Structure 1
Amino acid sequence: MRAILARSSKPYVAASGLSGHRRVGDDGRMHPGSPDDAPVTLARADTPAGEVALRSRGNVVELIVNGVFAMDSVETASEIALADAAGRPPGRVLVGGLGLGYTASALLDNGATSVDVVDLAEPLLDWARAGVTERLGRVASDPRVRLHAGDIAAWASPESAPTRGGPWDAVLLDVDNGPGFLIHDANERVYSADALGAFAGRLAAGGVLVVWSESPSPPLWAALRTLDAAAEEILVPVERDGRRFDYALYRARRPA
């Protein structure tokens, strides 16, 4: 999940189902005056974990999760950096969190052999298959991609291998905002040392585990260093709305 996180101050029109969806581009270009554009709801659904919605302001696409502005198509550098951290070519990749599809599409551009994307919000996967945005539609239609509705934590278990595949050359976790600012409290367990160790155990020899965080997280880095003493912190500087800040990626490698 992405961007400057705050409760949305502007309401959006409720919609339901997949009927009447508008297909929009997602080049991320901000039209003059578009920050003041009234949001247009592209898709909305209630899930057991809360509300999920796609909306647009001009050419900008936004993802709303559980009432929180999660990310948009204006600033996607860290999503692409997450894909790049898997290496080139990235081989077989497991991605926790679909978002607006920027990480998955970058993996495809980088030559991934296969991409398994797991997201708790099944409607978001349905909207990708329906092509509600161009990028999500491109990801869903690529034969190398498999979309799975479910809890990414369940994929860490070795017992899941017979039904879920693996091992993977890279596991990329972007299921929330990192341990410092959770949209869903239940995701806290994904960042635990036990869970991170289990994900690392699903890697092929020499594979990488990369975790996205909305800000630098020393505890997360320390947890990964228990798995790989050379685990890295990769800062992605961003300037937005007159502010400068860093997103962070944390990468650990399984021995070859």
Structure 2
Amino acid sequence: MNYVELARAETERGELVLRERRPGGDDLDDAAGAPTALELRANGVFVMDTVEVSTERALAGAALAVVEEPRAVCVGGLGLGFTMHEVLADSRVETCAVVELEQALVDWMRDGTIAHGPALLADERVKVVVADIAIAVAEARPHTYDLVLLDVDNGPGYLVHETNATLYEQPFLEQVRAMLRSGGALVVWSAAEAPELATALGAVFDDVGADALDVRLNDRDEQYWLYRGRVAAGS
């Protein structure tokens, strides 16, 4: 594979890099049939790419399926926009607030460095907030959202930033519950099974569950997880 850097930003949390993977290089067998893809890395750690996006879409689908009227949705983490795209594909959604920590990533989406970004952000239902999700949740008005989707790390075991550990613990989850309307839900994406997250969700929400997702990534089988917590109707 050949890698072409498209954009780089230095932040107080470290380095954010957007690069393009192109077929080529010495290993022609590996290059044959491989698609060109965008890849996002934070401090050298792979965050996501545009090849395997089924789980980002499944994150939105799982949440949308358990809420009868998902009129107002909050997405924690912009990424490359695929979770947000799936949310906006649901005609029941009236507003979608996306909370993203990195201004540079929002800029790349807006200015077309990420080619599909401008069209996604042009949707009048979208509001992008550049902030730490922990602060945004703490400052949110109670009973504002029907859905909260959290995809800011590769799960509690694979943090992009160590300070994100609190996002998977009971105090933060209680704040998320306070944001939700009756019947609302939180869904969290994880790259691995996270029983401690399931336990924390169970202490806060009325109904919890976990779904394993089998995916094929870079010619190997992987299993990702979606964890959900729901507020009972009438609560």
Q: TM-score, normalised by structure 2?
A: 0.87
- Counterpart Cα distance in 2 of 1:42 and 1:251: 35
Q: Secondary structure at the match of 2:51?
A: coil
Q: Determine if contact 1:231/1:252 at 8 Å carries over to the other structure.
A: yes
- Counterpart Cα distance in 1 of 2:15 and 2:201: 32
Aligned to 1:105: 85
Pairs aligned (count): 216
**Is residue 2:58 matched to residue 1:81?**
yes
**Is residue 2:115 matched to residue 1:134?**
yes
Gaps (5+ residues) in structure 1? 1-35
The amino acid of 2:40's aligned partner reads: L
4+ long deviations beyond 4 Å: none
Aligned pair partner of 1:91 in 65, 68, 71: 71
The amino acid of 2:123's aligned partner reads: D
The amino acid of 1:126's aligned partner reads: D
**Is residue 2:18 matched to residue 1:54?**
yes
Q: Secondary structure at the match of 1:156?
A: helix
Q: Secondary structure at the match of 2:211?
A: strand
Q: How does 1:14-93 map to 2 (within 5 A)?
A: 36=1, 38-58=2-22, 59-87=36-64, 90-93=70-73
Q: Determine if contact 1:131/1:138 at 8 Å carries over to the other structure.
A: no
- Counterpart Cα distance in 1 of 2:190 and 2:153: 8
* Structure that is richer in strand per residue: 2
The 1:124/1:225 distance shift into structure 2, 3 A limit, reads same
- Counterpart Cα distance in 2 of 1:95 and 1:102: 11
**1:92 Cα offset (Å):** 0.9
Q: Secondary structure at the match of 2:55?
A: helix
Sequence identity of aligned pairs in percent? 41
Out of 85-94 and 107-116, give the one that drifted further.
85-94
- Counterpart Cα distance in 2 of 1:90 and 1:80: 16
**1:178 Cα offset (Å):** 1.1
**1:166 Cα offset (Å):** 6.1
Aligned to 1:221: 198
**Is residue 2:162 matched to residue 1:185?**
yes
Aligned pair partner of 1:235 in 184, 207, 212: 212
**Is residue 2:235 matched to residue 1:247?**
no
Q: Determine if contact 1:102/1:135 at 8 Å carries over to the other structure.
A: no
Alignment RMSD = 1.6
Q: Determine if contact 1:77/1:236 at 8 Å carries over to the other structure.
A: no
- Give a deviation string over 1:70-119, Cα, whole Å, max 9, x none: 11111011100011122156321101101110000111112221111111
- Counterpart Cα distance in 2 of 1:255 and 1:134: 40
**Is residue 2:188 matched to residue 1:211?**
yes
Q: Determine if contact 1:62/1:72 at 8 Å carries over to the other structure.
A: yes
**1:133 Cα offset (Å):** 2.0
